[in-house]
Amino acid sequence: MPVDLHRRIDAVWREESPRIIAALMRLVRNLDLAEELAQDTLVTALERWPEGGVPDNPGAWLMAAAKNRALDHLRRDAMLARKHAQIAQELDGVHDELHAAREAALDDDIGDDLLRLIFVACHPLLSRDAQVALTLRLLCGLTTDEIARAFLVPEATVAQRIVRAKRTLGEADVPFEVPRRDELPDRLSAVLGVVYLVFNEGYSATAGEDWMRPALCAEALRLGRLLVELAPKEAEAFGLLALMELQASRTAARTGPDGAPVLLPDQDRSRWDHAAIERGLEALARALRLAPAPGPYALQAAIAACHARAARAEDTDWARIVALYDALQAVAPSPVVALNRAVAVSMHRGPADGLAIVDALAGEPALRGYHLQRLGRGAEARAEFVRAAGMTRNARERGLLLARAEAAAG
């Protein structure tokens, strides 16, 4: 098969496979079987498309082929023989009475198969690691090898997480549905958390040789856009999308020609993606219209927007950022938020005020070194940067911290 054709089929599959698996899951009610049927459909495409050409609407072709495979499977299942007519109708887009009743019982207007699949992949019965692995596998179309390389764990570990997750969901007979309205906020929070975790691993890799993994950011953004499309009344879904768009807008400026990290104050802002900034600001405005009292993602997006609106680093509205961190600390307190607030305070009021906040917090040597350096306490700053470099597993971050140590010593 020509390389270009194989790449095109792969791109189509990554885009369409989540919808296909979700549709099959609704029909066969078994995640393993849905994935198996989907893979069979891909094999059929790989066999037929090189000879007959890629269809004008490849997604529709794949969906029809997958549903036909599901129908064939169900017809072979004697237990479902008496439901052939109902299944055939559903495949044609007509819901039977039981399906309609189930939808009505959800008392919610969100009924898309993909949204159901997202909530299944992020079910609270699963560990966070399992949720991330299953989300990347089902919703992003990544292979176990790609997931393993992204998070620097053995492929066998990822495969085991996915197998155990499917087994857990199957044994618990987890329904393929969107949670009821009163359960939605808690369940949506888990979904948004997993998507943002995927984005963050792409934006600032935990370990390895690369500062960023843009492919993971792109997959998280795709899920974020999907969520706001499927849950258009959820403010925090728009807040998360805004945050990811605004952060991703800086991607091109975050590394130098040699791949070394470039920190925010030193970035060439002309290299920022202004289309992404506009999308982020639009999503933020939508989040604030839906919920005038913003949640954690919308508040973080508002902070990112302050940076995006500043033509130069020195134009940044640090007073506004401190106020936003105050609000964020009130609704979602954490050491990370407190540390980031310390940076904002130091930029707004001076490094001494920032260091006072840092001194009250336990262990973030990199940040402490940053403030000590600004205070002119070079020897102490160098020691803190070296200590921080010894703690990171990311080669690029280690190099950045050691470079700061040298600068502090000078």
pLDDT at 15: 78
Of the given ranges (38-52, 176-190, 258-272, 363-377), which has the lowest mean pLDDT?
363-377
Asked if residues 388 and 339 have their Cβ atoms less than 8 Å apart, the reply is no
Strand-pair partners of 261 = 255
| Percentage with pLDDT > 70 across the chain | 76
409, pLDDT greater than 80? no
Q: Cα separation of 282 and 238, whole Å?
A: 9
pLDDT digits (tens, 9 = 90+) for 358-387: 776 655 555 555 545 555 555 555 565 556
pLDDT digits (tens, 9 = 90+) for 57-95: 998 999 999 999 988 888 776 454 555 555 555 555 544
160, pLDDT greater than 60? yes
Q: Cα separation of 258 and 379, whole Å?
A: 28
Burial class (CB in 10 A: 0-12, 13-18, 19+), 359: exposed
pLDDT at 16: 85
pLDDT at 153: 84
pLDDT at 338: 86
Average pLDDT rounded to a whole number, residues 179-183: 75
pLDDT at 321: 97
Average pLDDT rounded to a whole number, residues 4-12: 81
pLDDT digits (tens, 9 = 90+) for 309-366: 999 999 999 999 999 999 999 999 887 788 889 889 988 988 778 777 777 665 555 5
Most confident of 8-12, 64-68, 306-310, 395-399: 306-310
Q: Cα separation of 104 and 313, whole Å?
A: 52
Query: Which tokens belong to 129?
Result: 């690691």
**Mean pLDDT for all residues in the chain:** 80
At residue 408 the predicted structure's pLDDT band, cuts being 50, 70 and 90, is low
Asked if residues 204 and 251 have their Cβ atoms less than 8 Å apart, the reply is no
pTM of the full structure: 0.70
Average pLDDT rounded to a whole number, residues 128-137: 89
pLDDT at 99: 43
Asked if residues 381 and 372 have their Cβ atoms less than 8 Å apart, the reply is yes
Q: Cα separation of 176 and 181, whole Å?
A: 15
Q: Cα separation of 330 and 144, whole Å?
A: 39
Strand-pair partners of 393 = 207
pLDDT at 293: 92
Q: Going by C-beta distance under 8 Å and a sequence separation of 6 or more, which residues neighbour residue 348?
A: 318, 319, 321, 322
Closest CA to 10 of 315, 285, 226, 215: 215
Residue 402 or 169, more confident: 169
SS3 assignment, position 394: strand
pLDDT at 397: 60
Alpha-carbon torsion angle 167, 170, 175, 180, nearest 10: -40
Most confident of 100-114, 347-361, 385-399: 347-361
pLDDT at 394: 58
> Residue 83's CB: how many other CB atoms inside 10 A?
16
The phi-psi region of residue 29 (left if phi > 0; otherwise alpha if psi is between -120 and 50; otherwise beta) is left
402, pLDDT greater than 70? no
Average pLDDT rounded to a whole number, residues 296-313: 96
Average pLDDT rounded to a whole number, residues 296-300: 97
End-to-end CA distance of the chain: 58
pLDDT at 398: 66
pLDDT digits (tens, 9 = 90+) for 18-50: 889 988 988 888 888 999 999 999 999 888 998
Average pLDDT rounded to a whole number, residues 244-272: 91
pLDDT at 390: 63
